Amino acid sequence: MAISPTLYYDVLGLPPPPHSIALAPEVIRKAYHAALLRHHPDKNISDDAVLTLYSSEMVDCIVKAYNILSSPDLRAEYDKVIMQKRKLLNDESEYTSRIIAQADLVDLDDFDSAEMCLKHRIPENESICETCEREEVWYKECRCGDVYLITESMLVEVSSHFKGEDGEVLVQCPRCSTWLRVLFAIS
């Protein structure tokens, strides 16, 4: 699981930057004490060793969060990193939207399917591929002569992001780098 870029604000239950009003030292201290009370191992009277471990790790994290957020210098540094990460994420989603806007939309039904070796990318059973491992793939020829390739595992991975009956996957031609949006039914 990815660690939240705003982890130290999250564990103290404080709003992450940008702040319209600067967080007062008392506010941070109060949040720190409240978080400690919520997660202190002594409060978790349980035979469950896992829970205790989780709590003591949590307490370490809360203490570290307080040390950073209560120091103006360290907090400024930390806020700067958060803002940079946010900008990176924004740039990334802008890039994806640009690709989506430009890509042609096709249906997976327009693809041919085959057992293909992913190393040689040859749908036919040619002698060079005789000993290669094969995987179920869908392929469609690109204008440049190479093929767009969709593997079973790509579809499985993408399916988990869609709740409805239709999924969509972005594929890129390895030779000319053109993108294609491919719609597929989730069974």
Tell me the sheet residues that pair with 137.
Answer: 114, 151
Q: In terms of CB distance, is 52 or 178 closer to Zn ion?
A: 178
Nearer to Zn ion, 130 or 165 (CB): 130
For 70-136, where are the alpha helices, taking DSSP H only? 72-102
Least Å distance, CB 132 to Zn ion, is 3
Least separation in angstroms between CB 80 and Zn ion = 41
CA angle 171, 175, 180 (to 5 degrees): 25
Q: Interface residues with Zn ion (CB under 5 A)?
A: 117, 119-120, 129, 132, 142, 144, 146, 173, 175-176
Query: Minimum distance from CB of 140 to Zn ion (Å)?
Result: 10
Helix axes 49-69, 72-102, angle to 10 degrees: 100
Shortest CB 149 distance to Zn ion, Å: 11
Element (H, E) at 184: strand 179-185
Of 85 and 175, which CB lies nearer to Zn ion in the complex structure? 175
Q: Give whichever of 35 and 117 is closer to Zn ion, judged by the CB atom.
A: 117
Paired sense of beta strands 104-107 and 135-141, if any: unpaired
The CA distance from 131 to 134, in Å, is: 9
Q: Minimal distance in Å, beta carbon 95 to Zn ion?
A: 19
Burial level of 31, CB count in 10 A (0-12/13-18/19+)? buried
Report which of 10, 53, 4, 60 is spatially closest to residue 31, judged by C-alpha positions.
Answer: 10
Q: Report the residue number, 53 or 105, with the smaller CB distance to Zn ion.
A: 105
